[in-house]
């Protein structure tokens, strides 16, 4: 199933950073899940975790992953750091990389994480930015393969063309999986992300599409994926977004248009009654909790790859 390691990976800021390592990291994820990898692989190593945004799955999965691998993790909010009082990112990165073996950042702006990585002597991991969520995408494609035993499937993302959608587009294009993004006009993924994904798709054979037509995007879908309509930082647009997305809810009627064995995914947190109904997320087609669990195993693969 999986290929050999190629070029060295220094940071994990985008899922594209793992383009030569996807197979290897998926393989490691599976081994960690089956408990057939050494539990002391990162013994004595330390991960600094910087959070500008709230987190449940990202914080817990990274902290537990480091513990399981024999290392330790430091939780740091911006209020805990001088960066919250005006120290420039470059200085924080240079100093912090003298103390720890790696840094994971959950930030508002992707450019800040890129700047931090440029000035860091240790690996930097993107725990979420406004542009990408590569750790989520890695866990997601592992979960899809785990369930479908193939990437020869059709994934439909319903909703906002946000950071999760961006990383899924890129991940799908790297592994050769077909993906359609179905969203209201004006909420499409950034053109530059879609063009980059199409570049990889030409090599992998992946078919990618963006449409505003829900019926067209759902027909025959093997996987339906959705996310919140109002992401962190978009709260001021809440009323406008809920109105724009009201016809893009993942519900039973929508599932009936997809494949009989369709699976439903959501990166969480979910707002039942908005982007997805309770009967779907808690129903027989949902694999949301397996998907959430796999964040832990995928995080171990990322940490082992960069810090091991």
Catalytic machinery residues: 106, 133, 136, 227, 267, 295
Half-sphere exposure of 285 (CA within 13 A, CB side): 26
Closest CA to 208 of 21, 137, 217: 217
2-6 long-range contacts, CB within 8 A, separation 24+: 2/26, 2/27
CATH of domain 136-291: 3.40.50.1370
Q: With beta carbons less than 8 A apart as the criterion, state whether 114 and 13 touch.
A: yes
What is the rounded CA–CA span in Å between residue 224 and residue 261?
11
CA pair distance 46, 67, nearest whole angstrom: 10
pTM of the model: 0.95
Q: CB of 42 within 8 A of CB of 155?
A: no
Reported confidence tier of residue 231, pLDDT bands at 50, 70, 90: confident
Mean pLDDT of 13-38: 96
Query: Which candidate, 252, 103, 257, places its Cα nearest to that of 180?
Result: 257
Tokens read off for 281: 């997320």
Cis peptide before 194 (omega within 30 of 0): no
Question: In the prediction, which pLDDT does 4 show?
Answer: 41
pLDDT confidence of residue 85: 79
Architecture of domain 15-132+294-307: 3-Layer(aba) Sandwich (3.40)
What value does the mean pLDDT of the chain take?
Answer: 95
| Mean pLDDT value across residues 60-80 | 96
Q: What does each C-alpha distance from 29 to 33, 279, 298 come to in angstroms?
A: 6, 30, 5
Q: DSSP readout, 184-239?
A: -TT-PPPHHHHHHHHHHHHHHT--EEEES-HHHHHTT-SEEEE--SS-TT-GGGHH
Per cent of the chain over pLDDT 70 is 98
Question: pLDDT digit string (tens) for 84-103?
Answer: 778 999 999 999 999 999 99
pLDDT at 2: 37
Instruction: Report the distance separating Cα 296 and Cα 74, nearest Å.
Output: 17
Residues 247-258: pLDDT tens digits? Answer: 999 999 999 999
Residue 78 has pLDDT above 60, yes or no: yes
Q: CA-to-CA distance for 28 and 30, rounded, in angstroms?
A: 5
Decide if 27 contacts 15 (C-beta within 8 A).
Answer: no
pLDDT for 164-216, tens place per residue? 999 999 999 999 999 999 999 999 999 999 999 999 999 999 999 999 999 99
Check residue 5 and give its pLDDT.
40
The strand pairing partners of 158, in sequence order, are 182, 226
Q: Do domains 15-132+294-307 and 136-291 have the same CATH topology?
A: yes
Q: Which long-range contacts (CB under 8 A, 24 or more apart) does 19-25 make?
A: 19/174, 19/200, 21/305, 22/138, 22/141, 22/171, 22/174, 22/175, 24/305, 25/138, 25/298, 25/301, 25/302, 25/305
d(CA 172, CA 174): 5
pLDDT band at residue 259, thresholds of 50, 70 and 90?
very high
Tell me the pLDDT tens digit for each residue of 90-136.
999 999 999 999 999 999 999 999 999 999 999 999 999 999 999 99
Phi, psi of 214 (to 5 degrees): -60, -45
Domain boundaries, the chain: 15-132+294-307, 136-291
- Structure confidence at residue 6 (pLDDT): 53
Strand 178-182 relative to strand 102-106, pairing: unpaired
């Amino acid at each position: 199933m999986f290929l050999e390691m190629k070029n060295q990976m220094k940071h994990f800021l985008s899922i594209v950073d793992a383009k030569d390592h996807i197979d290897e990291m998926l393989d490691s994820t599976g081994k960690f899940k089956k408990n057939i990898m050494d539990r002391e692989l990162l013994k004595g190593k330390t991960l600094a975790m910087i959070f500008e945004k709230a987190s449940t799955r990202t914080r817990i999965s990274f902290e537990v992953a480091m513990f399981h691998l024999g290392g330790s993790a430091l939780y740091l909010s911006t209020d805990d750091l001088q960066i919250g009082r005006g120290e420039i990112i470059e200085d924080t990165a240079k100093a912090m990389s003298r103390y720890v073996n790696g840094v994971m950042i959950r930030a508002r702006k992707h450019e800040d994480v890129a700047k931090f990585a440029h000035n860091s002597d240790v690996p930097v991991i993107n725990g979420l930015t406004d542009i990408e969520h590569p750790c989520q995408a890695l866990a997601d494609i592992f979960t899809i393969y785990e369930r479908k035993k193939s990437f020869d499937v059709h994934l439909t993302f319903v909703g906002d063309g946000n950071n999760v959608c961006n990383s899924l587009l890129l991940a799908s294009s790297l592994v050769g999986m077909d993906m359609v993004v179905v969203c209201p006009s004006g909420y499409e993924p950034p053109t530059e992300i879609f063009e980059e994904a199409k570049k990889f798709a030409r090599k992998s054979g992946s078919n990618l599409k963006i449409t505003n037509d829900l019926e067209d995007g759902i027909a025959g879908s093997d996987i339906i994926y959705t996310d919140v309509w109002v992401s962190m930082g978009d709260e001021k647009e809440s009323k406008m977004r809920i109105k724009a997305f009201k016809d893009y809810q993942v519900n039973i009627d929508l599932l009936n248009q997809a494949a009989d064995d369709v699976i439903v995914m959501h990166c969480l947190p979910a707002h039942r009654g908005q982007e997805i109904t309770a009967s779907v997320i808690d129903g027989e087609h949902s694999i949301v909790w397996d998907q959430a669990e796999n964040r832990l195993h995928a995080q171990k693969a990322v940490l082992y790859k960069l810090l091991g």
